[in-house]
Structure 1
Amino acid sequence: MKKKVVLAFSGGLDTSFCAMYLSKDKGFEVYTAIANTGGFTPEELKSIEEKAYRLGAVKHATLDVTQDYYEKSIKYMVFGNVLRNGTYPISVSSERIFQAIAIADYAKEIGADAIAHGSTGAGNDQVRFDLTFEVLAPGIEIITPTRDMILTREYEINYLREHGYEADFTKMEYSINKGLWGTSIGGKETLNSEQTLPEEAYPSQVTQTGTEVLKLEFKEGELCAVNGEAFADKVKAINKVEEIGNKYGIGRDMHVGDTIIGLKGRVGFEAAGPLLIINAHKMLEKHTLSKWQLYWKDQVATWYGMFLHEAQYLEPVMRDIEAMLSSSQRNVNGTVSIILRPYSYTLVGVESDFDLVKNDFGEYGEIQKGWTSEDAKGFTKITSTALRIFYANQRKNGKL
């Protein structure tokens, strides 16, 4: 009997080659699978399925893991206000983990002998897929033709043509990966440190002028309403914010960071929804959390984002960090107002019953109500004790 291989399939050149090569040259029964984390339209998914069968797949599966991706990753990235290097919302890189998990589960479900993917040896994705498969599908062989054979585009295109498969594999000027949590854009200017992407490189173009007020409501840290419209489905809420912000060209930037394999990487991105949601959430937290909640959240969230980016989602400590982040959100309730304009936005303010700025103890810089002037003098004197001891010692020993 032929061995079964599950191929993580996107319909691009590399995975198209892999599908035909594994079927024709290696004699596998090829089961193609695409794990959708919110980056594909129904029409695109249908087209990918048709390509798979044309390339020799015996069965194609579309695995929709968008809700899983939100519940097990995006939610915590919002709780932690996670922006890698203070810039990048860990868009496509976080999706890859959940795509790999879905592929591994599917491979076990159908009793596959092997799992294949089309990653090259020069990027992060090879690690994300391999590591996830090693951990969640032990004993199942991992096959990576593109990486192992060090293939060129020309070789892959010629191979497909020789086997009767014709398709437009014209190399685009930019490599674009669209997902629920942002779109990455790589190529040309991103390969040159002194350049940035031109307007036309971004998939979304600016169509709105003037200004607009956007109101985002959060309940226990999760986005629950957009401009007064309630959303039980958080994925739809994210899509709504993305739709509004994209029209203004908001959320564009260039990310420079360290890859898993040690290279410095540079990529452009647009992520109107993630950046508006994260920064609104962060502002609401400033009003509703204590000083030390904010401090420790920042510490663990930085690690959470780094581990997620570097394929360590399955590390047990991630569940511990998620528990801490979830606990911190119990009072993060309220509405944030934002003014949108082309290419930028302004966080205006918050309305919340848990707003710690509004209190009965005093107004900063104005008047105290919870203590007397004598209390303040005593507080300051006690607070200064350690410093007074140190500097008295310095004077005594002639150091001052």
Structure 2
Amino acid sequence: MKDKIVLAYSGGLDTSTIVPWLKNNYDCEVHAVCVDVGQVDDNEKPDLEKRAIEYGADSIDIIDATEELVNDYIFPMLKSGGKYENKYLLGTSIARPLISKILVDKARELGANCICHGATGKGNDQVRFELTIMALAPDIKIIAPWRLWDIKSRQDALDYCIQHDIKLNMSAEESYSRDMNIWHLSHEGLELEDPANMPDYRNLLQMTTYVEDAPDEAEEISIEFEKGIPVSLNGEKMDGVMLLTKLNEIGGKHGIGVIDMVENRVVGMKSRGIYETPGGSILYYAHNELEQLCLDRETQAYKRTVAVKYADLVYSGMWFSPLREALDAFVDKTQETVTGKVSLRLYKGNKITKGIESPYSVYNEEIASFDTGELYDHNDAAGFIKLYGLPLKIRAFMKQNTEDK
């Protein structure tokens, strides 16, 4: 009886090569699954389906999961405030657990006993795919061709396809390693592998205008949040997918959200990537500004600690872990009062706060004002400072006494 293999399929060089390779090395059916998380244009779908069959796949499914990605993965991450190494907005990382979950669902539906992915043996994605599959379907076998085959480079993959009469519309010289979804677009490979090289931004960027070419006039926008979730743009209520799509357009126009980063991969090496996250960068900034107004000092400080761990879990492929679920419970509690409106000016890559307002603001103008108010007596500060600084004073006396001996 033939094995049934569900293949995570993108239509790129790697997964296109994997289809004939699986057919040549396994007695199997190959069922390609392309999970659309905002990267597939409707006009491209017929060609994507056609090519998968031409390459040897027994079936191809394109599953639209964009809404699920935004509502069930991106927005919880946004509420956490997590950024990997205080920079990366986790665009590739956050989509991988959802893609893997859908692969598992499809495998169960087809009665498949194997799931195959095209992640390399040097990258993070192999960890993310396989940890999710292990968490959801420990009985399913995982096939990772990049750890098994003799192909060592993208040129080798192209040569393999030529040998097996697979006609691809790409070349190794043009093939940056890119990953796209509704949240971001990443670029790796070719000249970017040398951190000394400045990217040719005008030719590289696809979601975002190069900052020097952005408009010379600022654009004002407002975003409304309810319990940490963005629900309105410029006074118009809209669902998450539409809101993020429009913010990508606006932010991209103004050169917002381009990051050049050397990061620490899970597998132990460093890598350099260029990330475009125009709408996401705006949302992270606006959400943080609103939290500044709505959260008390201790909660806000501890939430920053949680954000670091949350980002590490997402980056490392540990979405389906008890700790991430527990951290979500904490985050959701903090977001109960993160409701309000943030107004911004966008100008040549910059996000400038115009104003913040919330019915749950813990900013009290009467207390904060330099004018004396009834709720705060300046004289109370003297006793507080004496007690707060008492350990420092005691230590200073100790040092004086020991230095005199």
Does TM-score exceed 0.5, indicating one fold? yes
The Cα of 1:143 is off from its aligned counterpart by 1.6
Q: Are the equivalent residues in 1 in contact too, given 2:216–2:347 (CA < 8 A)? A: yes
Q: Aligned match of 1:324 in 321, 330, 334? A: 330
The Cα of 1:6 is off from its aligned counterpart by 0.7
Which residue of structure 2 aligns with residue 191 of structure 1?
Answer: 193
1:179 pairs with 2:186:
no
C-alpha separation in 2, matches of 1:399 and 1:97: 64
Q: Are the equivalent residues in 2 in contact too, given 1:174–1:201 (CA < 8 A)? A: no
The Cα of 1:173 is off from its aligned counterpart by 5.2
C-alpha separation in 2, matches of 1:46 and 1:235: 23
Aligned pairs for 1:26-65 within 5 A:
26-65=26-65
C-alpha separation in 1, matches of 2:305 and 2:259: 24
Report runs of 4+ in structure 1 exceeding 4 Å deviation: none
1:369 pairs with 2:370:
no
Please, which moves more after superposition, 146-155 or 23-32? 146-155
Q: Are the equivalent residues in 1 in contact too, given 2:4–2:30 (CA < 8 A)? A: yes
Which residue of structure 2 aligns with residue 159 of structure 1?
Answer: 160
**What's the Cα RMSD here?**
2.0
Which residue of structure 2 aligns with residue 354 of structure 1?
Answer: 360
Which residue of structure 2 aligns with residue 15 of structure 1?
Answer: 15
Q: Are the equivalent residues in 2 in contact too, given 1:118–1:147 (CA < 8 A)? A: no
Deviations 1:66-103 (A, max 9, x none): 22222332112211222222211011122122211211
1:147 pairs with 2:147:
yes
C-alpha separation in 1, matches of 2:354 and 2:190: 37
Corresponding residue SS for 1:340: strand
C-alpha separation in 2, matches of 1:43 and 1:126: 30
The Cα of 1:207 is off from its aligned counterpart by 5.8
Which residue of structure 1 aligns with residue 237 of structure 2?
Answer: 230
C-alpha separation in 2, matches of 1:60 and 1:138: 24
Please, which moves more after superposition, 22-31 or 237-246? 22-31
Q: Aligned match of 1:201 in 175, 199, 204? A: 204
1:393 pairs with 2:394:
no
Could you tell me which amino acid in structure 2 is paired with residue 295 of structure 1? Answer: A
Q: Residues 227, 77 of structure 1: CA spacing in aligned structure 2 closer, same or farther, 3 A cutoff?
A: same
Deviations 1:174-198 (A, max 9, x none): 3322112111112344212222322
The Cα of 1:60 is off from its aligned counterpart by 1.1
C-alpha separation in 2, matches of 1:398 and 1:142: 67
Compute the TM-score of the two structures, normalised by the length of structure 2.
0.92
Aligned pairs for 1:261-272 within 5 A:
261-272=267-278
Corresponding residue SS for 1:89: coil
The Cα of 1:25 is off from its aligned counterpart by 4.1
Q: Are the equivalent residues in 2 in contact too, given 1:67–1:235 (CA < 8 A)? A: yes
- Report the identity percentage: 29
Please, which moves more after superposition, 105-114 or 169-178? 169-178
Q: Are the equivalent residues in 2 in contact too, given 1:335–1:350 (CA < 8 A)? A: yes
Which residue of structure 2 aligns with residue 76 of structure 1?
Answer: 76
How many residues are aligned here? Answer: 398
Could you tell me which amino acid in structure 2 is paired with residue 17 of structure 1? Answer: T
Q: Are the equivalent residues in 1 in contact too, given 2:83–2:307 (CA < 8 A)? A: no
Which residue of structure 1 aligns with residue 254 of structure 2?
Answer: 248
Q: Are the equivalent residues in 2 in contact too, given 1:209–1:248 (CA < 8 A)? A: no
Q: Are the equivalent residues in 1 in contact too, given 2:97–2:319 (CA < 8 A)? A: yes
Q: Are the equivalent residues in 1 in contact too, given 2:195–2:262 (CA < 8 A)? A: no
Which residue of structure 2 aligns with residue 217 of structure 1?
Answer: 224
Q: Are the equivalent residues in 2 in contact too, given 1:123–1:261 (CA < 8 A)? A: yes
Please, which moves more after superposition, 261-270 or 110-119? 110-119
Corresponding residue SS for 1:30: strand
Structure 2: any 5+ residue segments left out of the alignment?
none
C-alpha separation in 2, matches of 1:87 and 1:78: 14
Deviations 1:2-59 (A, max 9, x none): 2211111111122112112222442311111011222222223332211111112221
Corresponding residue SS for 2:363: coil
Please, which moves more after superposition, 298-307 or 69-78? 69-78
Please, which moves more after superposition, 351-360 or 49-58? 351-360
Corresponding residue SS for 1:197: coil
1:336 pairs with 2:337:
no
Please, which moves more after superposition, 288-297 or 369-378? 369-378
The Cα of 1:253 is off from its aligned counterpart by 1.5
Q: Are the equivalent residues in 1 in contact too, given 2:71–2:240 (CA < 8 A)? A: no
Compute the TM-score of the two structures, normalised by the length of structure 1.
0.93
Q: Are the equivalent residues in 1 in contact too, given 2:158–2:171 (CA < 8 A)? A: no
The Cα of 1:399 is off from its aligned counterpart by 5.4
Please, which moves more after superposition, 278-287 or 54-63? 54-63
Q: Are the equivalent residues in 2 in contact too, given 1:284–1:332 (CA < 8 A)? A: yes
Corresponding residue SS for 1:313: coil
Which residue of structure 2 aligns with residue 127 of structure 1?
Answer: 127
Which residue of structure 1 aligns with residue 138 of structure 2?
Answer: 138
Could you tell me which amino acid in structure 1 is paired with residue 176 of structure 2? Answer: Y
The Cα of 1:255 is off from its aligned counterpart by 1.7
Q: Residues 165, 174 of structure 1: CA spacing in aligned structure 2 closer, same or farther, 3 A cutoff?
A: closer
Corresponding residue SS for 1:330: helix
Q: Are the equivalent residues in 2 in contact too, given 1:81–1:279 (CA < 8 A)? A: no
C-alpha separation in 2, matches of 1:390 and 1:113: 67
Deviations 1:191-217 (A, max 9, x none): 122223222211133563311101111
Corresponding residue SS for 1:328: helix
